[in-house]
């Protein structure tokens, strides 16, 4: 699977893939998932990565066919994200997005109760 396009939109990075799927990740999620030496050391000490509330991705530089190096607005620019890792993160983020779908559930229960009444 190869990426077709990278889009930086406010505090998100979107990756379009050759199969037509799009992965959309927030800067905060990407920053927390950074696997550079510094961040791995933090994780090994079980210290959470500090993420600024208005964190943005300033730049995304492709690293050959391997992945992309991201520069964050907090000055962190060491993280290189291999393409398969980005797809993995995208799937995890999508699963998280869909779980707290309170509005959908409310509508479901509302329609089912009106049908019962
Ligand atoms: Zn890092």
pLDDT per 10-residue tile (average), the chain, 117 residues: 87 92 94 95 92 93 92 95 94 73 45 47
Helix (H, G, I), strand (E, B) or coil at 12: strand
Give the Cα-Cα-Cα angle 22, 59, 37 (nearest 5 degrees): 95
For ligand 1, the distance from its centroid to the CA atom of residue 49, given in whole angstroms, is 9
CA of 35 to the centre of ligand 1 (A): 6
Q: What is the pLDDT of residue 98?
A: 61
Q: Return the pLDDT at 31.
A: 96
- Quote the ligand 1 centre to 100 CA distance (angstroms): 28
Domains and CATH numbers, the chain: 3-116 (3.30.2020.30)
For residues 71 and 61, the answer to whether their CB atoms sit within 8 Å is yes
- Whether residue 34 contacts residue 43, with contact meaning beta carbons closer than 8 Å, is answered with no
The rounded distance, in Å, linking the Cα atoms of 64 and 114 is: 57
CA of 25 to the centre of ligand 1 (A): 16
pTM above 0.75, yes or no: yes
CA distance 112 to 23: 34
Cβ density class 1-32: b for 16+ within 10 Å, e for less:
eebeebeeeebbbebebeeeeebbbbbbbbbb
CA of 89 to the centre of ligand 1 (A): 15
């Amino acid at each position: 699977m190869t990426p077709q396009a990278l889009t930086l939109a406010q505090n998100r990075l979107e990756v379009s893939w050759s199969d037509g799927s799009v992965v959309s990740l927030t800067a905060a999620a990407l920053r927390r998932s950074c696997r550079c030496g510094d961040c791995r050391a933090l994780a090994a000490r079980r210290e959470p990565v500090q993420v600024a509330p208005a964190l943005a991705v300033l730049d995304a530089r492709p690293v050959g066919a391997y992945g992309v190096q991201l520069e964050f607005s907090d000055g962190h620019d060491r993280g290189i994200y291999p393409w398969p890792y980005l797809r993995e993160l995208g799937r995890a983020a999508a699963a998280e997005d869909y779980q707290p779908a309170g509005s959908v559930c409310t509508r479901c229960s509302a329609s089912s109760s009106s049908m019962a009444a």
